Amino acid sequence: MITLYDNKSTLPLSHPYCGYSPYVWRIRFALRFKGLAYRTHWLEYPDVETIAKSIGAPPTGKRPNGTVRYTIPIIHDSVTNKVISGSFDIIEYLDATYPDTVQLIPKETRLLQKVFEEAEPGLIIRHLIPVVGSRLHKSPLITPRNQEFMNSEAGRASYPPPVVYSEEQEKEAWEKFKNSALGDMAKQMLDSEEAPFVMGKKVSMADAVLFGRFACLRLLWDESTKEWKEMMSWHGGRWGRLFEAYESLPQVEKYDG
Amino acid sequence: MITLYDNKSTLPLSHPYCGYSPYVWRIRFALRFKGLAYRTHWLEYPDVETIAKSIGAPPTGKRPNGTVRYTIPIIHDSVTNKVISGSFDIIEYLDATYPDTVQLIPKETRLLQKVFEEAEPGLIIRHLIPVVGSRLHKSPLITPRNQEFMNSEAGRASYPPPVVYSEEQEKEAWEKFKNSALGDMAKQMLDSEEAPFVMGKKVSMADAVLFGRFACLRLLWDESTKEWKEMMSWHGGRWGRLFEAYESLPQVEKYDG
């Protein structure tokens, strides 16, 4: 069985939206499309490095001061006894280890998928910061220990305190997020009624990247809100269809007890 | 017949490497792979806007001061009497208008190709500036009128004067260009002996983007130089193979007189 390491929110651990890392959501997306069962090992920011080292997960980058940085997602696969970190590497590992499951990084599009993943901050996050930045930091969904970490010196290096935007700036940013970030992307894609994914009828890593970002937003604007319903209806309902494609597949997460 | 608008260098106009715009080279690459004949209409920087307006070519962007900006490549297709500007739009037009030719932007990879194209400055140019910036500005290949334009106020807005780097900085940048920019990309690609293109055996827009940048470098380091030969041998010879794939196809450019 696969164990997925994820950062918990204040939601019950059995709540299907408990995690809020967009990067871990990529892996949930991949595991569901692949039909691979997994359990979640919940942790909080201050635990990431300790746990990563204890299970032998490699670091995924460097901090500005040059020291190595450990991040989630991390998976441990008990079948192969392998530990992998980094969403691109994990999905590539799953493709290779379970070749009969849907392949999310077809070798012919590997460089394109990688560049898409790396371009995401410029394509989406940049537009989202004014909309969600301050909302996320003060959200009651963040556990007290994570709040404390995000406000500590170590935490601020990775999670700088948000700029506070006026209501008008937030509104403007929301329109830009809709029209520039997502709208420009939607224009490059096939009609979602026939072809809901970035690569048309073929699901791939790029969808995991987009889904991850949306799934994180769903925690901030739960499904009952006007904002979420709006988002899911934008661009001919294509983002809603991405969620439908995911939700229509059998649940593969296993819960203890 | 297609007319391609390109910026001339001081080489003879019939020299196959006369143009030096990496963006126009993308179109030459596309036309050769598609087997579509064309003539070049040579111009210089100060002519771009006048000519673009006179043939009805749309602007391709905005200057920092908000005024519209005209750029090459531009094509005029006498078969359809259409004028198109911007390399992505031109290649998309050629795919749609000549559906029996090699399709460089398969609809299923359109968003991925677009993001790759837009990511190029970060992937490659950033690493190239310290290597070619000052070299390009002082090159005897730039016509006196283009030199004058690049040093004028209007020209500086688009072509800022280069920072001058020391020999050591240039050397370091060359290594980074090899190992980080191109090396990281090569790692994501299939073995070029079997599969010379970004998408393996399938040529696409992404190759036009890479080829365009190299073709521009070939003007600065002509094929007899150590530097060019080195570049073409890097990463198992994969960039050399991209040129071989291009050169092995029949020449489609037509020369007057």
Residue-wise pLDDT for B91-117, tens only, equals: 999 999 999 999 999 999 999 999 999
A67 shares its domain with A169: no
The domain that holds A61 is classified in CATH as: 3.40.30.10
Let me know whether B89 and B183 are in one domain.
no
Contacts of B190 in chain A (CB under 8 A): 107-108, 110
- The pair of structure tokens assigned to A106 is 């077809």
For residue range B125-168, list pLDDT tens digits in order.
888 888 887 777 778 899 999 989 888 887 777 776 777 788 89
**Residues A90/A95/A100/A103 CA torsion (nearest 10 deg):** 120
B108 and A200: CB-CB below 8 Å? yes
Range of the domain at A94: 2-104+250-254
Contacts of B195 in chain A (CB under 8 A): 108
B123 with A110: Cβ contact below 8 A: no
Query: Which tens digit of pLDDT belongs to each residue from B229-245?
Result: 999 999 999 999 999 99
Q: Which residues of A touch B (CB under 8 A)?
A: 107-116, 118-119, 123, 185, 188-190, 195, 198-202, 206
B112 and B99, same structural domain?
no
With beta carbons under 8 A apart, name residues in chain A contacting B111.
116, 185, 188-189, 198, 206
A33 vs A150 pLDDT, higher one:
A33
Average confidence (pLDDT) over A170-189 = 93
Element (H, E) at B74: strand B74-77
At B65, give phi and psi (nearest 5°): -85, 0
Q: Are residues B133 and B25 in the same domain?
A: no
pLDDT in tens, B33-77: 999 999 999 999 999 999 999 999 999 999 888 889 999 999 999
Q: What is the DSSP letter of B61?
A: E
pTM (predicted TM-score): 0.94
- Cβ–Cβ gap A190/B108 under 8 Å: yes
Let me know: does A38 contact A74? Beta carbons within 8 Å: no
For residue A200, the chain B residues in CB contact (below 8 A) are 107-108
Q: Tell which of B118, B182, B188 to mutate to test the A interface (max A CBs under 10 Å).
A: B188
Inform me whether the pLDDT recorded for A44 exceeds 90. Answer: yes
Residue A93 and residue A206 in one domain: no
Question: Which amino acid, residue A98?
Answer: Y
- What confidence score (pLDDT) does residue A78 get? 97
Q: Mean pLDDT over residues A141-147, rounded?
A: 91
For chain A, how many structural domains are there in total?
2
Q: What is the pLDDT of residue B202?
A: 97
Instruction: Kindly state the helix (H) or strand (E) to which residue A240 belongs, with its residue range.
Output: helix A226-247
Interface test with B, best of A105, A110, A112, A207 (most B CBs within 10 A): A112
B63 and B146 co-located in one domain = no
ipTM of the complex: 0.93
Give me the mean pLDDT over the A6-16 stretch.
Answer: 92
Contact B188 A118 (CB under 8 A): no
Minimal CA–CA distance to B209: which of B74, B81, B112?
B112
Q: Are residues B54 and B121 in the same domain?
A: no
B85/B125 same-domain check:
no
Shared-domain flag, residues A154 and A56: no
Residues of B whose CB is below 8 A from A111: 116, 185, 188-189, 198, 206
| Helix, strand, coil share of chain A (percent; to 5) | 55, 10, 35
DSSP secondary structure code for residue A16 in this structure = T
pLDDT tens digits, one per residue of A85-142: 999 999 999 999 999 999 999 999 999 999 999 999 889 988 888 888 777 777 889 9
- The two structure tokens encoding residue B49: 């806007």
What are the tens digits of pLDDT across the range B243-253? Answer: 999 999 999 99
CATH number of the domain enclosing B153: 1.20.1050.10
Q: Are residues A9 and A47 in the same domain?
A: yes
Compare CB distances from A108 to B115, B185, B200 and report the shortest one's residue.
B200
Q: Do B199 and A109 touch (CB under 8 A)?
A: yes
Residues B183 and B158 in one domain: yes
Same domain, A212 and A197: yes
pLDDT given for residue B125 in this prediction? 87
pLDDT at residue A155 above 80? no
A112 CB neighbours in chain B (<8 A) are 109, 112-113, 115-116, 198-199, 206
